[in-house]
A and B are shown apart, each in its own frame.
Chain A
Amino acid sequence: MSPSSRRPRTTAHDIERYAALFAQRTKVMKSSAMRDLMALTERDEVISLAGGLPDTSTFPADSYASLMGKVAAESCARALQYGPTEGLAAVKACVSDVMAAEGMTVEPDDVLVTTGGQQVIDLVCKTLLDPGDVVVCEAPTYPGAVPTFCAYQADVVQVTMDRDGMRVDELASVLDSLESSGRRPKFIYTVPNFHNPAGVTMSLERREELVRIAGERELLVLEDNPYGLLRYEGESLPTLRSLDEDFVIYASTFSKILSPGVRLGWTVAPAPVLAKMNIGKQASDLCSSSISQYFVGAYFASGPWEDYVRSLIEIYRLRRDVMLDALAEHFPREAVWTHPQGGLFIWATLPSYIDTTDLLARALQEHVAFVPGRAAFVDGRGGSSMRLNFSGVDEDSIREGVRRIGEVVREQVELYGTLTGQRPAPPAFGTAERHGRDASPGLVGTVAEAELAKVLPLSRKRAG
């Protein structure tokens, strides 16, 4: 081969060639600016309140070693082998245990073990959606669901939330409005407990109303419940699945009660839906990791799994409280935030003139990071909000991280004052009571209140 023939022709022609090969749906699989910024949050010197990471550092290494040793000694060949698509019987029994702890009775046959809870979202979309089909979700919604909805070219409609979760009254009018144009959503996606990113929990009344609407209109609800067992205060509420089994697809995960590294979640769904999802899963990955499933089985057999969850609850409750205190101390009075009763996230909303994507660039100079709110919307809303995670870093880092973010926010508030001739607002010391457990996204505060508290008009974004 001559040297010249080894030099491939590149660039424009290649790009055109590849571009012609890409599926239509890749045109809506967007990411880059925020993804590039988010990549910077992973640098060592950055205090990242951006991740959604559980703290895996307290899981005892010797337990891990002995569990894996047990798997090797007792199930080596099977752990290294393919398994059934629906999951190992032992793991489905673990799922029954976990769901029983949340007040649900489930037969192992009703369970499909998945590769994380994320795969459930993907399988539901794969099973139910044709391009242009409507999905209803909360505003904001789980940022990780947005690319999945977009990849299936869903028409995503977001319904406003308040302190009691999704505005079910607004949902009803959204459904009416859709129906008047001859459309009905394929499913309603919701995170009722300790919402990611909003940090709020759906009230019992709304849960009952939601399943009533779903039943009446024969619509499926995808109930995503990864955090339900991580409650730091208040009484547990029944899951949607325990209120209605006919129209609820339930999704959960071992990620938050054991480890996200095992990449195991599950779904429980009406039998015909589950059968289709099973076929979809076969096409995706045949089965979830057998090694992980044997590990989970050994873990549940080794002692009460609830003990570790209780220890996590202690850790996370403290970190949540530290973050709430730090927010009260360091964020300016124009900011509002939620008071989560569990889960991993606080949602903070700044005055509408602050763009949190640009603020992240500024915050990264101070070596601190959060998730800009826009990631949780499909329609460009959320530009002044941010998601803060309190589970993944220690208390000192939370205090320092919030202090640094507060500093750059305050800097922007002051600068805005000089730009508009308004006096900068006084600092927010001693205003913690404004942000007590009654606080909710967009319902207290000044500018943010005007911006978010109104009922937003039906907002629709054709993802395709």
Chain B
Amino acid sequence: MSLVAVLKGGRSLERQVSLKSGARVEDALSRLGHRVVAIDVGGDLIDRLSSVAPDVAFVALHGRDGEDGTVQELLEVMGIAYTGSRVSACIRAADKVLAKHAMLDHGIPTPEFFAFNETAFRTLGAGQALPAIERRLHFPIVVKPASQGSALGIKFARSAEDVPGALLSAFSYDRKVLLERYVAGRDLAVSVLADDAGGSGAAVALPVVEAVPTGEDFYDFEARYEIGRTRFECPAALDDAVASEAQRLALDAFRLLGCSGFARVDLMLDGETGELFVLEVNAIPGLTETSLLPQAADAAGIGFDELIARIVAAAGR
């Protein structure tokens, strides 16, 4: 069995979620017979990794630095095998704008959007283009930071007067934001996992999870991590054809961005047209007790320990 360093915590806004994910991963790895060293990622990361010299690093970080290729780059430099996607896939997935452009270019449906960085507003007067954008996207418009992994900073603008405030909120998290057409409908997630054949790098889509908010009009950051605020249905009650299509799109997006090991793809099923849209790909989805990937794995008969075992087996290959 291997010596596994679990990288968790870090400085991102999702630190607490990462600590929860990391703790569960440590327990599972121990049960699997691995030797486990937990590292709360900070300024001493290189020192810690050098002294621990793990066989594999399990990256249980979410958000900035942990999920956007930064830590992965350091692990590449140090020659340490690590779980999940490689650097380039992390960069593509962490930037919703990059990911959506790639999807558009390759025919994967994603809601129409416009993205701007702060300079567009500060120096190019992009504010004057807002009415045109609003006409194209129709209200409500979803405004979100390009890089925030969780639902932090995501706002609904229901009318033109909501837009500047929503942009300010999104800019609190990132220098780049997007305005996206709101797809009213069902909130789906398809997790993708490396298959158990080993070596081939092939991946399978797990059963679709549906997040059903309880009493809230939006599946918000709080609901995402608290038991009892959102009801999850897995497998989601969907026609087989729709479920298969969602899984196919998720796998397409996973491959398009070059992900490996595991990921979670968030989609919307348009309540009126029945069309599916990919919203984003999360390179390191949550592994907490309420997270969607473990639930989807469970529905496929893959227990948490087996899930972690597969992710580790796929590390670095």
Q: Which residues of A contact B (CB under 8 A)?
A: 6-15, 18-19, 22, 26-27, 30-33, 35-37, 39-40, 43, 352-355, 358-359, 361-362, 364, 412, 414-416, 418-421
Interface residue range, chain B: 35 or more
In the bound assembly, the distance between CA atoms of A83 and B172 in angstroms comes to: 52
In the bound assembly, the distance between CA atoms of A249 and B39 in angstroms comes to: 49
| B185 interfacial by beta-carbon distance below 8 Å | no
The residue in chain A whose Cβ has the minimal distance to the Cβ of B127 is A419
The residue in chain A whose Cβ has the minimal distance to the Cβ of B297 is A11
B87 to chain A, nearest CB (A): 23
- Top 9 A-B pairs, shortest CB-CB distance: A10-B304, A362-B172, A11-B294, A358-B169, A419-B164, A358-B172, A353-B165, A36-B16, A12-B295
When A7-B303, A10-B303, A361-B152 are in contact, do A37 and B13 touch as well, CB less than 8 Å? Answer: yes
Q: Which residues of B contact A9 (CB under 8 A)?
A: 298, 303
Q: Are A33 and B220 in contact (CB under 8 A)?
A: yes
In the bound assembly, the distance between CA atoms of A27 and B169 in angstroms comes to: 27
* A interface, over-half SS: helix
Q: Are A36 and B17 in contact (CB under 8 A)?
A: yes
Q: Are A415 and B228 in contact (CB under 8 A)?
A: no
Q: Which residues of A contact B299 (CB under 8 A)?
A: 12
In the bound assembly, the distance between CA atoms of A19 and B289 in angstroms comes to: 12
Q: Which of B68-76, B118-126, B250-258 makes up part of the contact surface? A: B118-126
The residue in chain A whose Cβ has the minimal distance to the Cβ of B299 is A12
| B229 interfacial by beta-carbon distance below 8 Å | yes
The residue in chain B whose Cβ has the minimal distance to the Cβ of A45 is B11
Q: Are B153 and A10 in contact (CB under 8 A)?
A: no
In the bound assembly, the distance between CA atoms of A421 and B121 in angstroms comes to: 10
Q: Are A420 and B127 in contact (CB under 8 A)?
A: yes
A319 to chain B, nearest CB (A): 28
In the bound assembly, the distance between CA atoms of A15 and B24 in angstroms comes to: 14
A432 to chain B, nearest CB (A): 27
In the bound assembly, the distance between CA atoms of A414 and B123 in angstroms comes to: 12
A33 to chain B, nearest CB (A): 4
In the bound assembly, the distance between CA atoms of A11 and B297 in angstroms comes to: 9
Q: Are A11 and B295 in contact (CB under 8 A)?
A: yes
Q: Are B169 and A6 in contact (CB under 8 A)?
A: no
Q: Which residues of B contact A412 (CB under 8 A)?
A: 168, 171-172
A451 to chain B, nearest CB (A): 12
Q: Are A353 and B153 in contact (CB under 8 A)?
A: no
Q: Are B298 and A13 in contact (CB under 8 A)?
A: yes
In the bound assembly, the distance between CA atoms of A392 and B303 in angstroms comes to: 47
| B225 interfacial by beta-carbon distance below 8 Å | yes
Q: Are B122 and A415 in contact (CB under 8 A)?
A: yes
Q: Which residues of A contact B298 (CB under 8 A)?
A: 9-13
B154 to chain A, nearest CB (A): 10
